[in-house]
Structure 1
């Protein structure tokens, strides 16, 4: 008998191991790398962003548009590699919320959780609204009377939210597979269109569109922050830490691959759009739908319907992925005692955070419908939702970049270049956040800035009141998946986490 066979037959005792994970109830170790990758890619919604963001960035960055997108990609990579210092060490359903709590303590951790709540929730609302809008546009091709119907968009949001609920309730494998199929088809179509437009321009590099002359530092900085919005959500794979089979390997890869792949697609799309409009003697900002305008101009009108369908599908995939991440953050905060314990319940058979899904999804449908009904239209509502979401994402990224330095120093594993990357990312993001909020506070979407600030302020006041009643919250938040008896040969029970949640 070999040593391995003897160890299996009579394993040495390992004491003090938990008999269940602090995040028990989820489908632990059930999904592979493709599912994890699909989560991050879909949360970013690269095909929709590749079509819509170049003109948004160009309106601010002007001649520096291409390099603003490149700068946003590099900054996203800095943040991604910084976040991965945690994902290689910890399987946390709460993602950045849990990571920051381990580095900067419970107050900063809660602030991060609140910022992530705003980021994920408002981008999910933005995506549902965007999907409804492009579906209405698509239908308007055949029925012009409904082209600009806010009522149709609102009805679509409700219907799409119902589909999201069904997908999320059925299990993580279904939701990641749906988003993977939808987003893959969308990206493929965008690549075909982009390559076709570049081919129509002939060979060689069109250097004028790569010039940065005439762009002020402020314009470039604002444009880069706007371009950064096309990357937010790349970290959402980390919310599947408990459910991934090999979390310490698959999640870091998924996060970096998402940034790189999305960045390459954005650069290609930005370049093709800039070159296309330059050849026409027009500005990319001269059309409300630049890619459709280019498709018409270059004899690719047939692709218009497919393009609208692709963008709608990408928005829908983003809504599912963002809601997937959102409900897991809520689930983690519930297990920590920061929100009602009932939100930490999971479905006994499907292993999904069903209570958080049941509460979150209706809110994600109701808010944008009200915003459209009482606001100035669909696009105006989408702009406000996007501003609030962006502020939430960037705030959480700043905090996690600071937290990693403190965390690694505390455990004796801080290296020079890791520290430099984290500090540079934190400084650039912090400056970018201030510039972005100041710029948006004087725009038509200023309501998004105030919504973000009000939610953060009320949340922090509520947290201080809660912590006064529950002093143990100063030290106990930030649950993550831990080794259990089923993971080891010879494990013997230790104290089991008791969350007081029946059926969890």
Structure 2
């Protein structure tokens, strides 16, 4: 069997080194369900409190559709570039670059949001123990401590980072779920009418809330960025994506119902709450649980930062291997198989931006709102492009089905409508997210135009994905233009 490569185009990563639970940990940590169950529900309520539960339900259904569409690619080839590579394979280089730029913005902004969230909840916990520890200085110090831990975990290797994230998230989800159930038991029967939109609430408002709720699910596809490092990736990656969305959806609905019904029971406003879980815990005699929940939420935010940064660096690594960005960024650690070139480029950005916001005196909740909204917009644009790419790709390989095409196109249309609704509602309320998104989009367009300037062609192998190597095939013989040797990470 001749003409196989002696090494993968994405060589240098710790190839085929992690199992299903490590891959699942990547998606779960990027989603950070325990943190999102509390913070994102509050942000959805900020759009319209009475639309919170329908918006979360709509976002969950739509996320399942998108997950199924993404899995059409994940079942067929392993790509560290994930959505970027999928869009290239379906729509070609330029739309693929647009999807790559969008998902980079998404991963980076959500990593910033997670670092800010972790610092916010950690500073609250520290302030309760030592009242002198408060203000921007304490938050900035916490951010730097988080950044140090982030660097150590990400450089050390995917097995360490994924398992740390999985343990943290498992404990956090168990704490939050137990607290939510305890609150439901304490508050007694719920009036179903408080869970439905109030009179006069438009579908556009529910759609805007659904987009914010979608930010609680984004990152579920990040398991695909471990396509090279996963064992049996064509099976484990789609399973990890599906399980992440299902578990998250159940937890978010439980959180939305509990918080909306809880504030209705105490005649309070969830939209005006600084920490809904703490206020409800105190109101229903579970104050100690609220503090424990804060610990879990802070840890979950850190896990989210780890997962988002892991996915971000692997997309940038793939672009470097494609020749889209400088090839030096595609370097990997010789011992641990981590994309150190991409880490050196990406980590300063995701740490210094939130640190600058805090030191500039920007309210941390406002900074969190902007970063999660911008990150959500980046994710949605990438999801839309991949949903459009899926039917094109499947038709090209002769495997398109009517059901798959309808699901993909419906998802693309619904995501586009939700994004438009959010921008309209945000702009009408005086928000700046739409203008920030426009500025980022213009910058990305300029970067792509610069890359294509003067008629310069993109490399032929853009959209690189993992391929079988000679040592994996019985009787495999490497191509003559490649040196002998396997695709191992040298110590």
TM range (shorter): over 0.9
**Match of residue 309, structure 1, among 292, 295, 308:** 295
Counterpart check, 1:391 vs 2:377: yes
1:70-111 deviation line (CA, Å, top 9, x unaligned): 110000001000000000001000000000000110000001
Q: In the aligned structure 2, how far is the partner of 1:331 from the partner of 1:61?
A: 40
* Superposition misfits of 4+ residues, deviation over 4 angstroms: 442-445, 495-498
Aligned to 1:25: 12
Aligned to 2:195: 210
Q: In the aligned structure 2, how far is the partner of 1:407 from the partner of 1:206?
A: 47
Bigger drift between 292-301 and 355-364 goes to: 355-364
| Residues 106-185 of structure 1 aligned to structure 2 (within 5 Å) | 106-147=93-134, 149-185=135-171
Q: In the aligned structure 2, how far is the partner of 1:495 from the partner of 1:287?
A: 66
Counterpart check, 1:201 vs 2:187: yes
Q: In the aligned structure 2, how far is the partner of 1:450 from the partner of 1:372?
A: 21
| CA distance 1:477–1:52, change in 2 (3 Å) | same
Bigger drift between 345-354 and 151-160 goes to: 151-160
Unaligned runs of 5+ in 1: 1-13
Q: In the aligned structure 2, how far is the partner of 1:321 from the partner of 1:496?
A: 37
Counterpart check, 1:236 vs 2:219: no
1:15-55 deviation line (CA, Å, top 9, x unaligned): 11111100000011110000000100110110011112223
- TM-score, L = length of structure 1: 0.92
Counterpart check, 1:457 vs 2:408: no
Q: In the aligned structure 1, how far is the partner of 2:381 from the partner of 2:289?
A: 38
Aligned to 2:242: 256
Aligned to 1:9: none
Q: In the aligned structure 2, how far is the partner of 1:64 from the partner of 1:441?
A: 19
Q: In the aligned structure 2, how far is the partner of 1:463 from the partner of 1:56?
A: 33
Q: Quote the offset at 1:205 in angstroms.
A: 5.2
Q: In the aligned structure 2, how far is the partner of 1:393 from the partner of 1:114?
A: 10
Aligned to 2:465: 480
- The 8 Å contact of residues 197 and 298 in structure 1, kept in 2 or not, is answered as yes
CA RMSD of the aligned region, Å?
Answer: 1.8
**Match of residue 246, structure 1, among 232, 235, 238:** 232
**Match of residue 288, structure 1, among 256, 274, 277:** 274
| CA distance 1:138–1:482, change in 2 (3 Å) | same
- The 8 Å contact of residues 82 and 404 in structure 1, kept in 2 or not, is answered as yes
Aligned to 2:41: 54
- The 8 Å contact of residues 121 and 323 in structure 1, kept in 2 or not, is answered as yes
Bigger drift between 272-281 and 110-119 goes to: 272-281
Aligned to 1:327: 313
Q: Quote the offset at 1:56 in angstroms.
A: 2.1
Q: Quote the offset at 1:445 in angstroms.
A: 4.6
Task: Indicate the SS of the match to 2:3.
Answer: strand
Task: Indicate the SS of the match to 1:141.
Answer: helix
Q: In the aligned structure 2, how far is the partner of 1:169 from the partner of 1:470?
A: 38
Q: In the aligned structure 2, how far is the partner of 1:377 from the partner of 1:150?
A: 9
| Residues 402-413 of structure 1 aligned to structure 2 (within 5 Å) | 402-413=388-399
Bigger drift between 344-353 and 470-479 goes to: 470-479
- TM-score, L = length of structure 2: 0.95
Q: In the aligned structure 2, how far is the partner of 1:63 from the partner of 1:216?
A: 11
Q: In the aligned structure 2, how far is the partner of 1:358 from the partner of 1:288?
A: 35
Q: In the aligned structure 1, how far is the partner of 2:364 from the partner of 2:327?
A: 36
Bigger drift between 176-185 and 451-460 goes to: 451-460
Q: In the aligned structure 2, how far is the partner of 1:151 from the partner of 1:488?
A: 57
Q: In the aligned structure 1, how far is the partner of 2:139 from the partner of 2:87?
A: 38
- The 8 Å contact of residues 208 and 419 in structure 2, kept in 1 or not, is answered as no
- The 8 Å contact of residues 171 and 351 in structure 1, kept in 2 or not, is answered as yes
- The 8 Å contact of residues 180 and 258 in structure 2, kept in 1 or not, is answered as yes
1:420-474 deviation line (CA, Å, top 9, x unaligned): 000000000011112222333355651x433333233223223233224674417
- The 8 Å contact of residues 61 and 222 in structure 1, kept in 2 or not, is answered as no
Q: In the aligned structure 2, how far is the partner of 1:47 from the partner of 1:455?
A: 29
Task: Indicate the SS of the match to 2:477.
Answer: strand
Q: In the aligned structure 2, how far is the partner of 1:444 from the partner of 1:370?
A: 23
Unaligned runs of 5+ in 2: 484-488
Q: In the aligned structure 1, how far is the partner of 2:154 from the partner of 2:454?
A: 34
Q: Quote the offset at 1:133 in angstroms.
A: 1.2
- The 8 Å contact of residues 96 and 396 in structure 1, kept in 2 or not, is answered as yes
Aligned to 1:341: 327
Q: In the aligned structure 2, how far is the partner of 1:444 from the partner of 1:238?
A: 37
| Residues 350-369 of structure 1 aligned to structure 2 (within 5 Å) | 350-369=336-355
Aligned to 2:252: 266
| Residues 59-70 of structure 1 aligned to structure 2 (within 5 Å) | 59-70=46-57
- The 8 Å contact of residues 99 and 478 in structure 1, kept in 2 or not, is answered as yes
